[in-house]
Copies of this chain bind each other. A is one copy, B any other.
Amino acid sequence: MNNTQAIIITIGDELLIGQIVDTNSAWIAQQLNILGISVKERIAVGDTRDAIIEALSEAIPKADLILLTGGLGPTSDDITKPVLCSFFGGKLVVNEDVLAHVTELFRKRNRPIIERNMKQAEVPDNCRVIHNPMGTAPGMLFEQNGKWIVSLPGVPFEMKAMMTETLLPDFATRFGSTQAIVHRNILTIGEGESFLAERISDLEAALPAHIRLAYLPSPMAVKLRLTGTGTDEAALTKEVEHHRDLIAARVQNRLVALEDHPIELLLANALKKQNLTIGLAESCTGGYIGHKLTQINGSSAFFKGGIISYATSAKSDILGIPAAVIEKEGVVSEAIATEMAQAARKLLHSDIGIGITGILSADPYEDKSPVGTIFISVAGPGEIRAKKYQLHYDRVQNKETATQLALYQAFEFIRPE
């Protein structure tokens, strides 16, 4: 038996004119995968009746579960509810539970409630209403020939709350698959995908048909993902991990981790495990390393803070690097990166300090060093390791890559031999 196939339809003109980036679909796909439900397609369409109906009509024959997000707000451009209601041949009726919930929500936030908000309590009489604990727009679940069609708000935290509290448990019961999907990842750094592929070509050729290998390249790093499908989850996991271990052993010299975690989480976990703290002195990355580390829940256990020494005066006045040293070495230099790392450790009383300085883009106000030159230094109690990198991307990508490299270099620094 094949596993359950899902299609995700996102609704909103903003998706078609590029005004927003869709992050909902990725999250939904992850959650469905955990239940053994495959996402067959993702489709984005505009806020028009024809577009919604066309997408739905094409999707229903192809999948068992259709998830729609967006277009459920209280304004006139939100048309998903009446379109679905008429598509499935129902009519809108007031739902007393939703009405009570919406009224309570406005009362709690001390806001007046208006007719337009009360309209949110009208739902099709031919659907199951899905409670929205975080907002006023209820979700809807329609059933047709055993297929489920679910409509959710596009606001990410509302959608996520409804999925987590209500829908994912129901999907597990209804579509709970005998077919398991197992993903395992191998994160490598420093070697291009074509060279990695060459080195593991015999292992790739030996993979059974139900295990696929994918290469996900990004600047400086390549993730290898093995995806297996099968009926016995435990046996499948063992089998996928066996192949993963073979590949990991082959690329040992480039291996960062076997977990599919972003590098900041790998670093955070390593710091916590060894009971170490970290402090930053960021120049060209402008606070991005600090941002990445503080995205992690409980980051105050290992993150002391940082100095964004963007202006040269901040490097001397706050970090205390002598002006003469800056003058002699140049702002973008290994010496300054190391001074920064040491100053961060000292000022923030942390075990580890990262210093990073570089030129991300040709900027009339900045230093005259070659664009893309970055120095990263990591300082610990008894050791300092500094490295120079030459990046070749645009400003935004150079910043992203520099941040990844700094996190990676700190991770390597504290990794036990």
A residues apposed to B, CB below 8 Å: 13-23, 25-31, 33, 38-47, 51, 55, 58, 73-78, 111, 114, 116-117, 155-157, 183, 192-195, 197-198, 204, 212-217, 223, 225, 227, 260, 280, 282, 284-291, 293-295, 297-301, 303-311, 313-314, 317-318, 347-349, 361, 363-366, 393-397, 399
Residues of B within 8 A of A194 (CB): 73-75, 114, 116-117
Residues of B within 8 A of A214 (CB): 13-14, 47, 77
B297 and A286 form a contact (CB under 8 A):
no
Instruction: Identify the closest chain B residue to A395 (Cβ).
Output: B297
Complex Cα spacing A114 to B314, Å: 47
Instruction: Identify the closest chain B residue to A196 (Cβ).
Output: B75
Contacts A77-B212, A282-B287, A298-B363 known; A29 to B22 CB distance under 8 Å? no
Residues of B within 8 A of A216 (CB): 14, 19-20
Q: Chain A at the B interface: mostly helix, strand, loop or mixed?
A: mixed
Given contacts A17-B227, A18-B31, 18 further A-B contacts (CB under 8 A): A18-B26, A18-B28, A18-B29, A19-B223, A41-B51, A75-B194, A116-B194, A285-B294, A286-B303, A287-B287, A294-B310, A297-B395, A298-B363, A304-B310, A305-B307, A305-B314, A306-B310, A318-B348
* Contact residue among B47, B78, B111, B303 (Cβ-Cβ distance under 8 Å from A310): B303
Complex Cα spacing A397 to B27, Å: 15
B215 and A75 form a contact (CB under 8 A):
yes
B297 and A305 form a contact (CB under 8 A):
no
Residues of B within 8 A of A291 (CB): 285-288, 290-291
B294 and A300 form a contact (CB under 8 A):
no
Min CB gap A394→B, angstroms: 6
* Contact residue among B51, B74, B301, B349 (Cβ-Cβ distance under 8 Å from A313): B349
Min CB gap A120→B, angstroms: 9
User: Can you give 25 contacting A-B residue pairs, CB < 8 Å?
Assistant: A16-B29, A17-B30, A18-B30, A19-B30, A19-B260, A21-B21, A21-B22, A40-B45, A40-B51, A41-B51, A73-B215, A76-B213, A156-B397, A294-B399, A295-B395, A297-B363, A298-B364, A300-B311, A305-B307, A305-B308, A306-B307, A307-B307, A311-B348, A317-B347, A318-B348
Residues of B within 8 A of A295 (CB): 286, 395-396, 399
Complex Cα spacing A111 to B85, Å: 60
Complex Cα spacing A25 to B216, Å: 18
Min CB gap A10→B, angstroms: 8
B29 and A197 form a contact (CB under 8 A):
no
